[in-house]
């Protein structure tokens, strides 16, 4: 019998080599799916990992090489996990994956090469290591469907366990705003990273968060289990500026004044009863909210328990704006509260209705500054200091 021969191989574990006679077969399967058209002799096309390989490390690289001809197309199909992409190199003689693989998953690589007018196809199927422990993102804040957030809003990512290799994990975290602005991650614990911009977000845009976590070696034998994503919708630039000494705050939206609101702030008799100055963010709201004296129980001196309406939190030390009909006579002229900003029922409801999580409220006039880690007081820290908390500094 006459006719040329060519070989296609998958390597990286036990090699699979097919020897075919062009005159005897119109095509055949490699690894159960690949096909070869008859043609002139050619050099091998090689896929790593090899067909049948098991326990492949999720952070390894898939590589396809064509010793003769050029690669036309390479696809990777996984039983689960994210889409695996890659790039050609060396004048399309090489293709390498550009991301990690999901652990404990089966994959099939299909490669097409063309040489001398003939197209050849080879496949390789393999499975990745099933990690003893995996890492997932347990929560992304904010991530509420339909919610618009303020221009100061951070992105808070909480993992389901401690992160040993923070640099490797941080490299997977992507923030893509529609209107670019510089930002940085800061780790605030073994399982939490927070993204803050250098300046406030531009209003009225979409910001996308994506973590290419699947297959990343997070250290200590832990691999990322899956990717994660979230979408933030930045709403209007609503900024509140208030002077505690003058008992008024002015609310603007996209630079235009909406309302000046009289308030009564903390009476300042103790540090606890002193409203904090600095850059705060609105964090949440509730109607009604039960407020109690921190660290005190019934019968203790200074204990109180009060139910208030239309409360908007701006720190974790018990500071809210809220309805306070009992102090309307002092609002705009004296500070008589335990630290909150007392508003009239009408103004409290108005502020409650327009608030967005991440709206900025800047307060001045006291010697008690809000700490950067009190609630979402992150803007109290300079950006240069903030990014020192990145694992990639």
Instruction: Report the catalytic residues.
Output: 322, 340
Query: Vertex 382, ends 362 and 378: CA angle to 5°?
Result: 55
Report how far apart the first and last C-alpha atoms of the chain are (Å, whole number): 66
**Helix (H), strand (E) counts: the chain:** 3, 31
Query: Vertex 6, ends 5 and 7: CA angle to 5°?
Result: 135
Tokens of 323: 């309805």
Total Cβ atoms within 10 A of residue 162 = 14
Tokens of 51: 């067909």
Contacts with 46 (C-beta within 8 Å, 6 or more apart), sequence order: 9, 10, 11, 63, 64, 65, 66, 67
Query: How far is it, in rounded angstroms, from Cα 278 to Cα 242?
Result: 10
Q: Do residues 112 and 48 lie in contact, with contact meaning Cβ atoms separated by under 8 Å?
A: no
């Amino acid at each position: 019998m006459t006719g040329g021969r060519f070989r296609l191989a998958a390597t990286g574990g036990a090699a699979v080599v097919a020897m075919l006679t062009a005159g005897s077969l119109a095509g055949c399967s490699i690894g159960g799916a690949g096909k070869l058209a008859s043609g002139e002799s050619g050099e091998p096309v090689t896929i790593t990992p090899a067909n049948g390989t098991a326990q492949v490390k999720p952070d390894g690289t898939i590589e396809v090489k064509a010793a003769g001809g050029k690669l036309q197309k390479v696809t990777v199909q996984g039983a689960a996990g994210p889409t695996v992409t890659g790039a050609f190199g060396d004048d399309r003689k090489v293709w390498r994956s550009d991301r990690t693989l999901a652990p404990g998953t089966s994959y099939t690589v299909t490669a097409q090469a063309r040489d001398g007018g003939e197209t050849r196809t080879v496949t390789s199927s393999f499975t990745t290591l099933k990690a003893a422990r995996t890492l997932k993102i347990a929560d992304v804040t904010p991530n509420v469907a339909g919610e618009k957030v303020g221009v100061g809003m951070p992105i808070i990512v909480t993992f389901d366990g401690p992160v040993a290799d923070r640099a490797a994990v941080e490299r997977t975290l992507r923030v893509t705003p529609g209107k670019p602005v510089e930002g940085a991650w800061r780790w605030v614990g073994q399982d939490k990273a927070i993204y803050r911009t250098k300046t406030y977000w531009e209003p009225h845009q979409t910001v996308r968060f994506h973590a290419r976590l699947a297959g990343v070696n997070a250290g200590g034998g832990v691999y990322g289990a899956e990717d994660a994503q979230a979408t933030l919708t930045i709403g209007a630039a609503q900024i509140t500026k208030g002077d505690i000494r003058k008992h008024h705050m002015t609310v603007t939206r996209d630079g235009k004044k909406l309302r000046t609101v009289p308030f009564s702030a903390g009476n300042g008799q103790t540090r606890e009863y002193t409203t904090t100055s600095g850059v705060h963010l609105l964090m949440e709201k509730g109607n009604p909210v039960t407020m109690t004296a921190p660290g005190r129980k019934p019968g203790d001196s200074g204990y109180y328990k009060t139910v208030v309406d239309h409360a908007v939190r701006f720190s974790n030390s018990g500071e809210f704006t809220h309805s306070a009909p009992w102090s309307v006579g002092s609002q705009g002229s004296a500070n008589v509260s335990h630290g909150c900003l007392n508003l009239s029922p009408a103004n409290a409801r108005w502020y409650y209705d327009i608030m967005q999580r991440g709206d900025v409220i800047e307060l001045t006039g006291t010697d008690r500054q809000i700490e950067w880690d009190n609630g979402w007081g992150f803007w109290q820290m300079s950006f240069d200091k903030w990014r020192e908390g990145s694992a990639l500094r």
